[in-house]
Structure 1
């Protein structure tokens, strides 16, 4: 989170100054828009943002970002229309703003993703969505600006019509504005631009929040899920080269013939003219013996490459499905906020679980990987904590739960451990899983276990978080113990 610059100059806009300051801020807009029409929307967004406590947000950025999010690639830069009308002394600053800020936002995939998310919001809620997106993008960075103009939302609502009345349609129609206000607005605008960070405007946690805008009904739920997805984003995805290597070398687990009563339902993509005989479509054996003595129809289809095989993960006799059960222990202890950690340890654990599930899906495909998360209840306080965590994860993993790729539940302290799935035959000695520090080492340790375990659908039972030495893994246990 950005810190407030205590040494920055803050200029409070009183009621009598609001109209002049708002007109000067709109004067520096970089959007080729009908400002008389767009000023009404921008002032509405500004009033909502200021009323929510972000009274330092600058109108120029609120106006331009709101229009860009609403219009997407239809957004046009002011230089394409008004360059010839700009005073020569202002051209360099205006072009720099377009290049450094608006042009970058136009090419930013995260801004495009936010625009797409807006299209799924009901029209009555789109202004609220835009205000929320603007606050996510601009609130923290602009807190560090060396000059901030602050105001009152009530003044914006009461004086908005006066601003709109004096706002022109085109740049050539601007009436003469007070030079002092233009200079102050230019300085505040430059300070806000300088405070904007490099990189994507919206982070992964921002985009998740925007895509689920209608599902978040309380501020506490929003902040909790924001922390959770922020941790998962900082852990980061499994590298594409590692995922590809795992996919190519993944071992398949034989299934008994009498148990192979489930046939693929993946359409033509589930079939191939190349493959191993273990994956041969069963109906192909009907061609054996046809054609009399010697070469039969099966031989001919084999030579010309017309035999059909199931693709690797679609064979009814080979199961390449990976299922990992994660057990979280000592919930009350993990709720403690340690000074050296950015968030509660329980949030780190949940974020790691999200990253682990995403990595399994990325490496083995969403259809070939699933996970179970169990909260182990060892004391009465754990029951309420587990219920709260389950509500959050059900919101985050709604799609995965509906497709039965994720299961959530609790585990009593005296209950037996979840049964291990079928095991692939080991290829050699089991490598040791490194136990590293938090938070990045935690993710590496689990990934190392999932990726390089010689029993590839099993991660041994280990304590990978917390003090004390790590015990030896229980033989054949497909469980990760997070404590």
Structure 2
């Protein structure tokens, strides 16, 4: 491993440009732009990367599918021994990136924004998570030397000379080619292309103007990361409880009726979904009954399963984060602060319950209960959740509020089936007791408490189920199972 002396910096940076996969001479100010991307990355610890790699990735992000690749015009000029490795670099790294759906999505987004340099810099940082560890750490650049580096006018002959001088200095004639080949071998073995840009990365780039501080970006990224890792539930495996007829009727949404149309009809189905106009074919008398004939001939019309549900139910789901000082802590057993873990957990529950109750009129209400705590930091976190749920908030499906205390009685509704999930630490048993009481009230609140449990907490006996997160830690797969159990339990609750 060699730390490069400052006097050889120009030879190293410019000598490698001869291996660039992009026809950079056709790009205005390509070297200067590349240096603007390279300096911050070197300052973040990526000082082992060659300049041409960073420049190529930055130009690829800027020009997308219109990137001018070097092979299109210079292939015949390359030495024969370099042709295969350089084409491999172009195809296996840059071309492979262009094939990834998430990369394609972000490239399309960038093309719509003229002011995109900060976004490109951030995207380079995100790409380096997967790419940078695989480049050989043989030559290291001192980031301080880059601050004042300003290359003079570049000519093709100068680049070739810089390459010769650098490789003579380190006494390796094939340095750039051999390290590039080793890098591509490592990438082909270890990089998982489907994870090179994740959902939280795309969200951050698309909302860059709003996520204007590092705290907001980190919080938003972590909540989305938790939601993604918790994964979607299989709604087909969730049994939704039916109430008694006298109770169920109160929750019916009379404002909804199928709009019909040929696309919503079929000649196969159950009699519950029969189109009512088919009943006119029922006839009295000994003659042939047209209804029976249409039944035998499979000519009766039925609503499709979704459209056959002539009446859907109203449901209100309250997701309550009962904050205390525990939520500002991070236990060694978890990768996230408890407030972030709670919000990511409840966000995933909301997304899953949208699927479980997809045919019903569902509203979600997020409540932040602060007690006597300062609300400034909490309000910033609510802004993150409001951004993550922007579409749902705009449609009126989701609300978010903050209060010192929450009265359960204020959540009751006679025309909606009301559920509540609480995430708490100090008051887990209190919520369990309250939900046990509201289960027997009219109208009822069907509640499930989730408690961050300390070892000293005593167990309580109650009919209301309690789900616990040990403060000392829990494997993430167990948290996934906990989330699925909460949803299954909630969907199966009935009024007492």
Same fold (TM over 0.5): yes
* Residue equivalent to 1:445: 482
Change (3 A) 1:476 1:19: farther
Contact 1:24–1:181 (Cα < 8 Å) also in 2: yes
1:36: which partner in 2? 25
Give the Cα separation in 2 of the matches to 1:343 and 1:192: 33
State the alpha-carbon separation in 2 of the partners of residues 252 and 317 from structure 1.
14
Who is 1:63 aligned against? Answer: 55
Q: Which moved more, 1:105-114 or 1:288-297?
A: 288-297
CA contact (8 A) 1:332 1:385 kept: no
Q: Secondary structure at the match of 1:90?
A: helix
Q: Do the aligned residues in 2 keep the contact of 1:47 with 1:154 (CA within 8 Å)?
A: no
Pick closer, same or farther for the CA change 1:257–1:279 going to 2, 3 Å.
farther
Aligned length: 425
C-alpha deviation, 1:336, in angstroms: 0.8
Relative to structure 1, the CA distance from residue 432 to residue 220 in structure 2 (aligned partners, 3 Å threshold; closer, same or farther) is closer
Residues 187/40 of structure 1: CA separation in 2 closer, same or farther (3 Å cut) = farther
- Given that 1:373 and 1:407 are in contact with CA atoms closer than 8 Å, whether structure 2 keeps it comes out as yes
- 1:148 maps to what in 2? 140
Q: Which residue in 2 is equivalent to 1:338?
A: 331
**Corresponding residue of 2:444:** none
Indicate if the aligned counterparts of 1:289 and 1:297 stay in contact, CA closer than 8 A.
Answer: yes
1:211-250 pair list within 5 angstroms: 211-238=206-233, 242-246=234-238
Matched, 1:307 2:292: no
Asked whether the 8 Å contact 2:12–2:162 carries over to 1, the reply is no
* Residue of structure 1 in register with 2:456 after alignment: none
Residues 298-329 of structure 1, C-alpha deviation per residue, up to 9 Å, x if partnerless?
6676665343526436623243x765432222
> Within 5 A, what are the aligned runs for 1:137-216?
137-138=127-128, 142=132, 146=137, 147-151=139-143, 154-155=147-148, 158-159=150-151, 162-163=152-153, 165-166=154-155, 175-181=160-166, 185-186=176-177, 198-200=191-193, 201-216=196-211
Secondary structure at 1:372's aligned position in 2? strand
| Whole-angstrom CA distance in 1 between matches of 2:360 and 2:252 | 19
Match of 2:17 among 23, 26, 33: 26
| CA displacement, residues 428-470 of structure 1 (integer Å, 9 cap, x when unaligned) | xx9988757243322311212313x3x6265xxxxxxxxxxxx
- 2-structure distance, mates of 1:10, 1:138: 21
Aligned to 1:3: none
Helix, strand or coil at the partner of 1:68: helix
Unmatched segments (≥5 aa) in structure 1? 1-7, 425-429, 459-474, 478-483
**CA deviation string 1:26-53 (max 9, x = no partner):** 211123x3x2123624631531552584
Residues 28-87 of structure 1: per-residue CA shift (max 9 Å, x gap):
1123x3x21236246315315525844736422222223333444455765565444332
Measure the CA separation in 2 of the matches of 1:232 and 1:401.
18
SS at match of 1:340: coil
Task: Point out the more displaced range, 99-108 or 128-137.
Answer: 99-108
Counterpart contact for 1:357–1:371, Cα < 8 Å: yes
What are the residue-to-residue correspondences of 1:35-184 with 2, within 5 Å? 35-38=24-27, 40-41=29-30, 43-48=32-37, 50-51=39-40, 53-54=43-44, 56=47, 58-75=50-67, 78-79=70-71, 82-91=74-83, 93-98=85-90, 100-119=92-111, 121-123=112-114, 125-138=115-128, 142=132, 146=137, 147-151=139-143, 154-155=147-148, 158-159=150-151, 162-163=152-153, 165-166=154-155, 175-181=160-166
Q: TM-score, normalising length from structure 2?
A: 0.69
Please give the per-residue CA displacement for 1:245-289, whole angstroms capped at 9, x wherever unaligned.
44xx6567775399552134666488333444444556x37x637
Higher mean alpha-carbon deviation, 107-116 vs 358-367, is at 358-367
Q: Any conservation in 1 of the 2:10–2:162 contact (CA below 8 Å)?
A: no
Q: Deviations over 1:202-225 (max 9, x none)?
A: 122212212223332222211221
Contact 1:322-1:457 at 8 Å conserved across structures: no
Using a 3 Å threshold, how does the CA distance of structure 1 residues 375 and 49 change in structure 2: closer, same or farther? farther
State the alpha-carbon separation in 2 of the partners of residues 439 and 109 from structure 1.
27
Paired residue for 1:400, among 369, 392, 403? Answer: 392
Asked if 1 retains the 8 angstrom alpha-carbon contact of 2:370 and 2:404, the reply is: yes
Q: Please show how residues 313-332 of structure 1 align to structure 2 within 5 Å.
A: 315-319=309-313, 324-332=317-325
Pair 103,395 (structure 1): closer, same or farther in 2 beyond 3 Å: same
Deviation at 1:393, TM superposition (A): 0.6
For residues 257 and 345 of structure 1, the distance between their equivalents in structure 2, rounded to whole angstroms, comes to: 38
CA deviations 1:111-143 (Å, max 9, x no partner) are: 223223323x422x1333222211221268537
TM-score scaled by length of structure 1: 0.71
Residue in 2 that maps onto 1:388: 380
Partner of 2:452: none
Does residue 351 of the first structure (1) align with residue 369 of the second (2)?
no
CA distance in 2, matches of 1:75, 1:456: 51
